[in-house]
C-alpha cells in the first residue's frame, strides 16, 4: 500500500474553513455557505473528485460527492458535516473568531481557535485531509462513500440536509449507514478515557406560544389579559420537573460508567453517575429526561396599554420512545387559553449499537490509537443533520473522533466563547477516522 499521512493537512484546512464566515442567524441574513462550499468543491477537484453544489435558497449551498468503492460492496457510507456556524460576538473573544488562529491553550496545548473549531469545521477538515491524502496516494476506501457538506444545520437543516434528501434523492441510493458530528470525543471517568459515540438523538420541538386577550388601559380591571395567560403557561413549562426516563442507549452508557465507578447502574443512581462526567454532565444530564426551556418573550408596546397578544418561544427536546408523553404533558402545561404551534418539529431517533458491524469498526479504530480506553454509545441532547438522513432509512451515528485532555471543558465550547480544538486532537481524529473507513 502506498504510504500517506491522513493528518497532513488537517490543521491548515481547519484554519482555512474557519476563516470563511458562515454565520447562520436563522433568518437568511448571514453570509450563507456558498463561499465555503465552493472552497470544499475546489479542494475535492484538486485531487480529481467531482462534486455537486446544491442551493435550495440563494447562498445556502451544500456539497455532495461520491468517492471510493472497488466494486466489492454496494452498501455505501454517508460521511456528513455542516459548513455553517452559529454567530460569534467578537468583543467577547480573546481572538478574532474568524481568524483561525493557532494559539496555546492551558487546557489543551497548541490549538486552533475560532468559530466552528469544534462545531464542526474540525471534522470537515479531518474528512478533507483524509480524502485528499488517500486520493493522492491512490488508495480510496473499498466501501463506496458519499461525502456531504451541508448548509443550515444550525437552524434545523431546512436549507441544507433536508432539500438534499428531497431534491437529490438519487445520490443516496445504496447508502445504508451514516456518520457525522458530535460523537467519538473523549471524556475522562476515574482516570480512564471514555469515548462517547452518538447512537441516539432527542427529538426537537421549537414551539411558539400565543395568548390573545382584550386590549385596554393598564389602570383598569382586565380579566382577559394575554400577558397573564402567557406568563402562567411559560412559568408552568419552565418549572415542570420531567422524570428520569432511560432509553436503551443510556442504559448501555450508564452501565459502562457504573463499571468504571465500581457501582451497578440503576435508574435511581442515574443522575449521580452522570456527575462522573464533570462539566460534560450539563449535556449528558439532559439525556436522562425530556427538557423544556422557555427562551423568548414578546408582548406589548407601552407600560399602560394591555396588549391584545403575547408570544413566547420554548425549546423542547424529547427522548426517543417518549414523544407521546412529552406532548400530552405539554398540552396540560400550556392550558386551553394559549395556542401552540411549531417553528420546527423534528423526530427523535435511536439506533442499535451493541455488537453491530459499525460499532465494532468504531471501537477498533479508536482502540488502535488509544488501547486503554473505553468506548460506549450515548444519546445526544441536541439535534444534527442525522434527523434528515435518517428519514431515508439510513442508520445514523455521530463519530467525529477527538482525544481530549481531561481538564478541557469540551462540551462548553459548543456555541461558546473562545471555541477551540487542540492540534493533537485534530491529528488523532484524522488517524482514527482514516482507519475507520477501512473497517466500516
| Residue pLDDT, tens place only, 330-378 | 999 999 999 999 998 989 999 999 889 999 999 999 999 999 999 999 9
| Confidence (pTM) | 0.92
Find where cell 386590549 sits. 215
Cell of 51: 462534486
CA 39 to chain CA mean position, Å:
22
Report the share of the chain in percent with pLDDT over 90: 93
Strand ranges (E), 115-164: 145-150
Find where cell 479508536 sits. 366
| Residue pLDDT, tens place only, 82-135 | 999 999 999 999 999 999 999 998 888 999 999 999 999 999 999 999 999 999
Q: What span, in angstroms and rounded, lies between the C-alpha atoms of 75 and 94?
A: 46
| Residue pLDDT, tens place only, 32-91 | 999 999 999 999 999 999 999 999 899 999 999 999 999 999 999 999 999 999 999 999
Cell of 258: 457504573
In 3D space, the residue among 185, 183, 175 whose CA is nearest the CA of residue 201 turns out to be 183
Q: What is the pLDDT of residue 1?
A: 61
What fold, for 10-182+382-439?
A: Aminopeptidase (3.40.630)
| Residue pLDDT, tens place only, 161-205 | 999 999 999 999 999 999 999 999 999 999 999 999 999 999 999
Pairing of strands 192-201, 374-380: parallel
Long-range contact pairs involving 95-101 (C-beta distance under 8 Å, separation at least 24): 95/418, 97/419, 98/18, 98/19, 98/20, 98/21, 99/18, 99/19, 100/14, 100/15, 100/16, 100/17, 100/18, 100/19, 101/15
The full set of domain ranges for the chain reads: 10-182+382-439
Whether the CB-CB separation of 237 and 326 falls below 8 Å is answered with no
Amino acid at each position: 500500500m502506498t504510504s500517506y499521512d491522513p493528518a497532513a493537512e488537517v490543521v491548515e484546512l481547519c484554519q482555512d474553513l474557519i476563516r470563511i464566515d458562515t454565520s447562520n442567524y436563522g433568518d437568511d441574513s448571514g453570509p450563507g455557505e456558498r463561499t465555503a462550499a465552493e472552497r470544499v468543491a475546489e479542494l475535492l477537484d484538486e485531487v480529481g473528485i467531482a462534486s455537486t453544489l446544491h442551493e435550495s435558497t440563494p447562498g445556502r449551498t451544500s456539497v455532495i460527492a461520491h468517492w471510493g468503492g472497488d466494486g466489492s460492496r454496494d452498501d455505501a457510507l454517508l460521511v456528513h458535516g455542516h459548513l455553517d456556524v452559529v454567530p460569534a460576538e467578537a468583543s467577547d473573544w480573546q481572538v478574532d473568531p474568524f481568524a483561525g488562529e493557532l494559539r496555546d491553550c492551558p487546557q489543551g496545548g497548541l490549538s486552533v481557535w475560532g468559530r466552528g473549531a469544534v462545531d464542526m469545521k474540525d471534522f470537515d477538515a479531518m474528512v478533507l485531509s483524509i480524502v485528499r491524502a488517500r486520493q493522492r496516494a491512490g488508495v480510496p476506501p473499498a466501501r463506496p462513500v458519499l461525502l456531504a457538506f451541508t448548509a443550515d444545520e444550525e437552524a434545523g437543516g431546512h436549507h441544507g440536509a433536508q432539500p438534499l434528501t428531497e431534491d437529490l434523492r438519487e445520490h443516496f441510493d445504496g447508502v445504508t449507514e451514516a456518520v457525522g458530528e458530535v460523537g467519538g470525543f473523549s471524556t475522562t471517568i476515574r482516570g480512564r478515557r471514555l469515548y462517547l459515540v452518538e447512537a441516539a438523538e432527542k427529538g426537537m420541538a421549537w414551539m411558539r406560544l400565543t395568548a390573545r386577550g382584550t386590549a385596554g388601559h393598564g389602570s383598569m380591571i382586565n380579566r382577559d389579559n394575554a400577558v397573564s395567560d402567557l406568563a402562567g403557561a411559560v412559568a408552568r413549562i419552565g418549572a415542570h420537573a420531567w422524570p428520569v426516563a432511560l432509553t436503551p442507549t443510556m442504559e448501555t452508557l450508564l452501565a459502562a460508567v457504573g463499571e468504571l465507578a465500581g457501582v451497578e447502574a440503576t435508574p435511581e443512581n442515574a443522575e449521580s453517575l452522570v456527575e462522573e462526567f464533570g462539566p460534560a454532565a450539563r449535556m449528558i444530564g439532559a439525556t436522562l429526561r425530556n427538557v423544556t426551556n422557555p427562551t423568548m418573550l414578546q408582548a406589548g408596546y407601552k407600560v399602560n396599554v394591555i396588549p391584545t397578544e403575547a408570544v413566547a418561544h420554548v425549546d423542547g427536546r424529547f427522548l426517543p420512545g417518549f414523544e407521546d408523553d412529552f406532548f400530552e404533558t405539554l398540552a396540560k402545561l400550556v392550558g386551553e387559553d394559549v395556542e401552540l404551534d411549531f417553528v420546527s418539529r423534528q423526530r427523535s431517533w435511536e439506533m442499535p449499537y451493541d455488537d453491530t458491524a459499525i460499532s465494532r469498526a468504531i471501537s477498533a479504530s479508536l482502540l488502535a490509537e488509544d488501547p486503554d480506553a473505553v468506548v460506549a454509545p450515548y444519546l445526544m441532547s441536541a439535534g444534527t443533520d442525522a434527523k434528515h438522513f435518517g428519514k431515508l432509512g439510513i442508520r445514523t451515528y455521530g463519530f467525529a473522533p477527538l482525544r481530549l485532555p481531561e481538564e478541557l471543558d469540551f462540551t462548553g465550547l459548543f456555541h461558546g466563547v473562545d471555541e477551540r480544538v487542540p492540534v493533537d486532537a485534530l491529528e488523532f481524529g484524522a488517524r482514527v477516522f482514516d482507519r475507520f473507513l477501512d473497517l466500516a
